[in-house]
Structure 1
Amino acid sequence: MASIEIEHFCQLFPLFAAASQEVLSSTLAVAWHNTYPAGRAILIEDAWGNAVYFILSGWVKVRRLRANGEFVTLAILGPGDFFGEMAILDQSPRSTDVVALCPAEVLSVPAQKFVHVLRQEPEVHYRMLQVMAQRLRLTNSRIELWHQPPAVKLAHVLVNLARRYGQPLGGNANTAAIFNVPVKDLADLAGIGAEEAHQLLDKLGAKNWIKIDAAKQQLQILNLPQLEQLAQQAVS
């Protein structure tokens, strides 16, 4: 079972910050704490939802199997995010896989308990709706960028990852360190080819806007304002 303090859990997941101490204690009491190695599938497509998964540390990718037998990455999630709620809320089989990109610590809350919390805590329910609306807005923005130049689309992906999960380098708010997401996954998110994404990352590195630190498994964004400006250069 979980061995995480309530205060730390609420810091990681503001979704639960408004819940009562009693609800939080009972939720954590029935939650399970698991660690997954890189490459391990946490959830498998077509499996029925039996839990919601909260990422304590590490990064995961959400992917779907195409008709041609290849996987396409739909989302990258980092610490403080969660997944698996859709299969519980609409009571249907999962439509995607979730795979650990690096060693990941995940807290799983049983489906019945999670639904009970949403029913008993209106503020948690409301915040869940906010998160789902934000995810829908992000999906819509990616669709709107579909016909934009590849550099704009890739910059948009990097900026969104930096905004959601990035940690400033040396306290500099104009920088952000994120996990060194594989190029193929970044390409899928941007809707461009892997080779094209690799070339664009090389160009961003040459401009000193980003840097790959392989030892730390980090993609370091060294000039976030410039990258944000590039992401906003949509062509009508």
Structure 2
Amino acid sequence: METQAIIELFPLFSVASPETIEWILSVADEEHYVQNEEIIKENNCGKAICFIVSGWVKVRSRNSNQEVTLEILSKGDFWGEMEILDEPLKCIDVAALSEVHLISISAQRFLQMLFKDPQVHHKMLQLSVKRYRYLYRRFQLRQQKPKIRLIKTLIRFAETYGKLTAEGLEILQITNQDLADVANISNEECQNIMIQLQNQGCIEINTTQQILSLTNLKQLNHFAKQL
């Protein structure tokens, strides 16, 4: 990757010194994965931090042969920092939901970077606090109706990762089960709500291209406030 591209794509590196950026580019590994391929295998977390250049991934938990999607991430986001800074989580893996291009930095080199560049260290703390706040808000959503949970999940994906097109904000067509897991609702509730939103003209799904478009973000925000 080019220096300017990594600065613009990843907020963590927006404050890094030129020397840090050059060093990152020299030690980072570029990786490519196809849809449904495992990126991080179970019990193999904590060895590197990964930054998504393009594509979509899901972080999932597997316990007693039951799979639950914990989070869905896309372009500009990253994962693995918690496992490097603290004890690695067990029974967690990461899989590609689409074709994925990412760069990875080993745990040892990532820690070296934090010690070398105080600005990046501080930015890492800020991003960690931001994630904690998001998890707290997500926990609060459990008190809301299923439709609100799902709508706010869709809005977050669209505003964070979406691509603006003539049809609206475009994201990956995420499976109902994955959406249900992240929104903490049942698969049946998710299916029914998605049908409602399509009938109300709020979303459109192109199964051929695996695209979900939020076609009426104003109405979705209205629903989220009124329900």
How high is the TM-score relative to the length of structure 2?
0.94
Partner of 1:198: 191
**Between the two proteins, what is the percent identity of the paired residues?**
38
> Structure 1, residues 173-197: CA drift from partner, whole Å, max 9, x if none?
xx31111111100000111111220
- The 3-state SS of whatever aligns with 1:145 is helix
Partner of 2:106: 110
Q: Number of aligned pairs?
A: 227
Aligned 1:206-225 pairs, distance under 5 A: 206-225=199-218
C-alpha separation in 2, matches of 1:181 and 1:153: 15
- The 3-state SS of whatever aligns with 1:232 is helix
Partner of 1:41: 38
> Structure 1, residues 137-184: CA drift from partner, whole Å, max 9, x if none?
2211121121321111100110111121112123x8xx3111111110
Where structure 1 has 5 or more consecutive residues not aligned to the other structure, the ranges are none
For residue 105 of structure 1, report the CA deviation from its aligned partner. 0.6
Contact residue 87 and residue 94 of structure 1 kept, 8 A: no
C-alpha separation in 1, matches of 2:41 and 2:224: 33
C-alpha separation in 1, matches of 2:52 and 2:4: 16
Contact residue 170 and residue 212 of structure 2 kept, 8 A: yes
For residue 102 of structure 1, report the CA deviation from its aligned partner. 0.7
Equivalent of 2:59, from 62, 66, 75? 62
Aligned 1:6-155 pairs, distance under 5 A: 6-67=3-64, 69-93=65-89, 96-155=92-151
- The 3-state SS of whatever aligns with 2:221 is helix
For residue 48 of structure 1, report the CA deviation from its aligned partner. 4.5
For residue 94 of structure 1, report the CA deviation from its aligned partner. 5.0
Partner of 1:188: 181
Q: 1:37 to 1:196 in 2, by over 3 A?
A: same
Contact residue 152 and residue 233 of structure 1 kept, 8 A: no
C-alpha separation in 1, matches of 2:216 and 2:45: 43
Contact residue 41 and residue 99 of structure 1 kept, 8 A: yes
How high is the TM-score relative to the length of structure 1?
0.91
C-alpha separation in 2, matches of 1:188 and 1:199: 15
- The 3-state SS of whatever aligns with 2:142 is coil
Equivalent of 1:163, from 145, 159, 164? 159
Q: Which amino acid is the alignment partner of residue 148 of structure 1?
A: Q
For residue 63 of structure 1, report the CA deviation from its aligned partner. 0.6
- The 3-state SS of whatever aligns with 1:49 is coil
C-alpha separation in 2, matches of 1:226 and 1:127: 35
Contact residue 63 and residue 91 of structure 2 kept, 8 A: no
- The 3-state SS of whatever aligns with 1:146 is helix
Q: Which amino acid is the alignment partner of residue 166 of structure 1?
A: G
Q: Which amino acid is the alignment partner of residue 199 of structure 1?
A: N
C-alpha separation in 2, matches of 1:219 and 1:134: 26
Q: Which amino acid is the alignment partner of residue 33 of structure 1?
A: E
Contact residue 45 and residue 92 of structure 2 kept, 8 A: no
